[in-house]
Chains A and B, each alone.
Chain A
Amino acid sequence: MAVVETPTGAPEAYRWEGNIEELRGLVSERAFTGETMLLNMGPHHPSTHGVLRVLLELDGEQIVNAVPDVGFLHTGIEKTIESKTYEKGVTATDRMDYLSPLSNNMAFCLAVEKLVDLDVPPRAQLIRVICLELQRIASHMVWLGTHAIDLGAMSVLLYAFREREKVLDMLEMLSGQRMMGSYFRPGGVWRDITSDFKPTLVKFLGEFPRAVQDYQRLLEKNPIWVDRTQGVGVIEPERALAWGMTGPALRGSGVNWDLRKSMPYSGYEQFTFNVPLGEHGDVYDRFMCRILELWESMKILHQALERLEDRGPFRSDNRKFVPPPRSELGQSMEAVIHHFKLWTAGFDAPDEEVFAAVESPRGEIGCYLHGTGGNMPRRVHFKTPSFMHISSLPLLTQGHFIADLVAIIGSVDIVLGDCDR
């Protein structure tokens, strides 16, 4: 018989009221005879990168089935945005994928700009690209640190977070907040870059290559790392596509698909960079893809820095959608009216549907937006990469050991806020 017993004396509230029959179809028939063991991993587990729960069916150490259970961080962000004006909605998008808030901002702002047909000046697009690439570096640093710590390389986290702090300092210069800056707004960015931003970025770009070399030296040829990652969690390109994987997890299988190249937004088509591809589709190739992406991000940052002028337009001057600068408020009655309208009622958007997608550090973040004709959206939906990657976990983990599950979860780089929203 199946072994599902509540320990006697457990408080009433924790007694499991479910029935093992509920799991029929999710786990194999062998679990019902007690031949395989059911084990619950998470939602409180240091290596599930958040509050993911995985129901494991184990044959000894080997995983027969892994059933992910999501929703422990379901925040109702999409519903919250429905009751916010378009400009305020940006704030809520920050908190979805909390490792790359600016990518979420970007997807939402692109959708809003598409909906109301708003142009963004080239300099603002350039600032956005710089921020997005900095954010990609910051996000990959957290990924690298946690992925390494999961596989037993403790020191990498300390190095990676040292570099991440430098990036966060720069983002704080721009937006005033370390993580949730809401720096991108429909029509451009919130304010111009500060005078100390460019020198800091130049300094960072001088130091960062050495740091990445260090990380590569620490892990790339490390025999333990190679043993733990090569040939683990293999997924073929066709299946990766069929399961909706995107980003480095897809490119690790050798599929050349990067939205920055294939459907450029915010002026990415003007930059020269490569898309690193893997061959085998295993944990190691996904790891290498992300590491090589750091170099490509640096390339983009160098090019962007050359083009970035110290002063210039940083947001659209269409006063119907973008508030006027403070200096105008004292002189122009119209500016006061626009300012008041935008900060109380916001702007109206037509009753139409749009979809915009960007390449975030973990894959494609798509934003579906349906206007009402009024100042709030009727429906907002985000198509997020982590959800797709978690749903492919059963496929990736089958037949592997429990210890490999941790490596695989790290390699697809999930963020539960991104998945559950």
Chain B
Amino acid sequence: MGVSSKLGNLGVVTTTLDQAINWARTGAMWPLLFGLACCAIEYMSTQASSYDMSRFGMELNRATPRQADLLIVSGRVTRKMAPVVRQLYDQMAAPKWVISMGDCASCGGIYNNYAIVQGVDEIVPVDVYIAGCPPRPEQLMHGVLTLHQKVHGETILDWAAEAPRA
């Protein structure tokens, strides 16, 4: 009853630790259940039946930032909301990533006025920006896959080198 009998003729796979970890991280990247404005509705559409984001291991939205890996800033961030967004980001456990969904979150969009933060990157570091007002579900999925590509390029040392962030 050794390893060989369990594996049969399947053989042995060798890989690097980085690749194995990144495979796991991109295979089940749990987003924070967090919606701000119009983009949140498209985010819901992406989760729902027609687009079905669970194909990318993302069907599980966590309502608590402690269990989430990915913050999707879906909508305009107002000056009143900005501290809340930052606090949610700080509460997430590393490794964590941020997608800025839509024009408003990325650069203020059509609202260049007193109320709106001109881009969520003023308050949290952003990994992927998605254009559109609001972006189509396909665009959001493309953004998520772009993030997955980026994660595949990371090594665990990148995160280890950083000071504890959460």
Contacts and interface: CB of A to CB of B under 8 A. Distances in A.
A158 interface: yes
Nearest to A42: B84
Interface string A147-173: 000000000011101101100100000
Interface string B98-141: 00000000000011011110000000000000000110100000
Interface string A40-52: 0001111000110
A305 interface: no
B151 interface: no
Contact of B49 (A13, A74, A159, A168): A159
A93 to B, nearest CB: 11
A91 interface: yes
B114 A46 contact: no
**Category for how many chain A residues contact B:** 35 or more
Interface string B78-94: 10110110111010000
Contact of A161 (B36, B48, B80, B88): B48
Interface in A404-421: 416-417, 420
A395 interface: no
A46 B63 contact: yes
A142 B41 contact: yes
B47 to A, nearest CB: 8
A92 B45 contact: no
A91 B133 CA distance: 11
A402 to B, nearest CB: 15
Contact of B41 (A44, A157, A179): A179
B50 interface: yes
Interface string A223-251: 00000000000000000000000000000
A99 B42 CA distance: 10
Contact of A73 (B33, B37, B136): B37
A265 to B, nearest CB: 25
A180 B63 contact: no
Contacts of B111: 75-77, 80
A75 B63 CA distance: 25
Interface string B16-55: 0000000000000000011111101110110011100000
Contacts of B133: 180
A45 B64 CA distance: 9
B34 A44 contact: yes
A77 B35 CA distance: 19
A165 B80 contact: no
A266 B139 CA distance: 35
Contacts of B75: 73
Interface in B131-164: 133-134, 136
A76 B116 CA distance: 8
A178 interface: yes
Contacts of B86: 13
A31 B37 CA distance: 33
A87 to B, nearest CB: 14
Given A50-B35, A51-B81, A98-B41, A91 B110 contact: yes
A199 interface: no
Contact of A14 (B38, B44, B80, B87): B87
A337 to B, nearest CB: 28
Contacts of B90: 11
Interface string A295-326: 00000000000000000000000000000000
Contacts of A179: 38, 41-42, 134
A209 interface: no
A56 B134 CA distance: 33
19 contacts: A50-B35, A50-B37, A50-B40, A72-B78, A72-B80, A73-B78, A74-B115, A75-B115, A76-B111, A76-B115, A79-B114, A95-B110, A98-B37, A98-B38, A142-B41, A142-B44, A161-B48, A161-B50, A180-B38
Interface of A: 11, 13-14, 43-46, 50-51, 71-77, 79-80, 91-92, 95, 98-99, 142, 145-146, 157-159, 161-162, 164-165, 168, 178-180, 416-417, 420
Chain A to chain B: the 9 pairs with minimum beta-carbon distance, closest first: A161-B48, A98-B38, A76-B115, A76-B113, A158-B49, A165-B50, A162-B49, A72-B81, A46-B63
Given A45-B63, A71-B80, 9 more contacts: A71-B78, A73-B75, A73-B81, A158-B48, A158-B49, A159-B49, A162-B48, A162-B50, A180-B133
